[in-house]
Amino acid sequence: MAPFTAPAHSSFWRKLGPGGLASLLLAAFSALALGLLPVVWRLAQVLRAAKGEAPESADLILVLGRRLKEDALTPVFRARLAHGEALWRSGLAPCVLVAGGLTGKATRSEAEAGRAWLLEHGMPAEAVLIEDQSQHTLENLFFVRERFREASLLLVSDPLHMARAEAFSDGLGLSVRRAPAFDCPPAKGSFGWWKRAAFEAFLLHWYRVGVLYSRLIGSKSQLERVR
């Protein structure tokens, strides 16, 4: 049986898939029961990962998608794409791979919109690849693994997203190096930045709880989504 993947334009609840709601509730309960200490611990990981790593040559530059707003790129997505383009122009990889399917109310996929932006900014068509089936970050990386399991990747997203994206990549056995787009809003140190950091810390906690929960109940269908 193939692992569960959400269809295009799925709601949040549809994207949860098997075991998703149970692991979410467990993550919330454990965070509250332990006085938010698990989230504080994950917050430290989010902040460390946000610093990125020194860029090195790789097989591909992977730009993670971002939900479109009325079919238009958001400032966060544009900043991710601009950073991916800059890495490509510096010769660190021969191609940029943009990931993201049909989400929200968009009529074109995140990947297609990202590819159009890169082409408009002078990248040749043969240097831009897309993954346009995924509905969220975990699926971005799951579908990328199906095609590029052995490839080394420069992973591009906004800084606060790095810890979670790297955790997913490690779980899926992908070889990635963090390459955060530091120009992504919100501004570092702002209220919005700290709010996003705390949210990412909880999502990272949820992922770790979900993996543990899936192992404890022996759910192959749930583990296949993340391992």
According to the model, what pLDDT value does residue 204 have? 97
Query: Is 57 inside any structural domain?
Result: yes
Query: Is 22 inside any structural domain?
Result: no
pLDDT band at 218 (very low <50, low <70, confident <90, very high): confident
Only one residue has tokens 């993670």, namely 64
Question: In terms of C-beta density within 10 A (0-12 exposed, 13-18 middle, 19 or more buried), how is residue 36 classed?
Answer: middle
Could you give the percent of the chain with pLDDT greater than 70? Answer: 97
Span 80-136, pLDDT tens digits: 999 999 999 999 999 999 999 999 889 999 999 999 999 999 999 999 999 999 999
Query: Is 5 inside any structural domain?
Result: yes
Task: Report in angstroms the alpha-carbon separations of 105 from 64, 120, 184, 187.
Answer: 19, 24, 23, 27
**Looking at 48-62, 75-89, 138-152, 210-224, which range is the least confident one?**
210-224
Span 33-45, pLDDT tens digits: 999 999 999 999 9
Task: Report in angstroms the alpha-carbon separations of 147 from 3, 141, 144, 220.
Answer: 16, 10, 6, 22
User: Using H for helix, E for strand and C for coil, what is the string for the chain?
Assistant: CCCCCCCCCCCHHHHHCCCHHHHHHHHHHHHHHCCCHHHHHHHHHHHHHCCCCCCCCCCEEEEECCCCECCECCHHHHHHHHHHHHHHHCCCCCCEEEECCCCCCCCCCHHHHHHHHHHHCCCCHHHEEEECCCCCHHHHHHHHHHHHCCCEEEEECCHHHHHHHHHHHHHHCCEEEECCCCCCCCCCCCHHHHHHHHHHHHHHHHHHHHHHHHHHHCCHHHHCCCC
Query: Is 210 inside any structural domain?
Result: yes
Query: Is 28 inside any structural domain?
Result: no
Give the domain range for residue 208.
1-12+34-227
Query: Is 101 inside any structural domain?
Result: yes
Query: Is 156 inside any structural domain?
Result: yes
Q: What is the CATH number of the domain that holds 216?
A: 3.40.50.620
Mean predicted lDDT score pLDDT of the chain: 93
Query: Is 19 inside any structural domain?
Result: no
Closest Cα to residue 203, out of 172, 139, 169, 160?
160
Span 186-211, pLDDT tens digits: 999 999 999 999 999 999 999 999 99
According to the model, what pLDDT value does residue 1 have? 42
According to the model, what pLDDT value does residue 126 have? 97
Is residue 11 predicted with pLDDT exceeding 60?
Answer: yes
Domains: count for the chain: 1
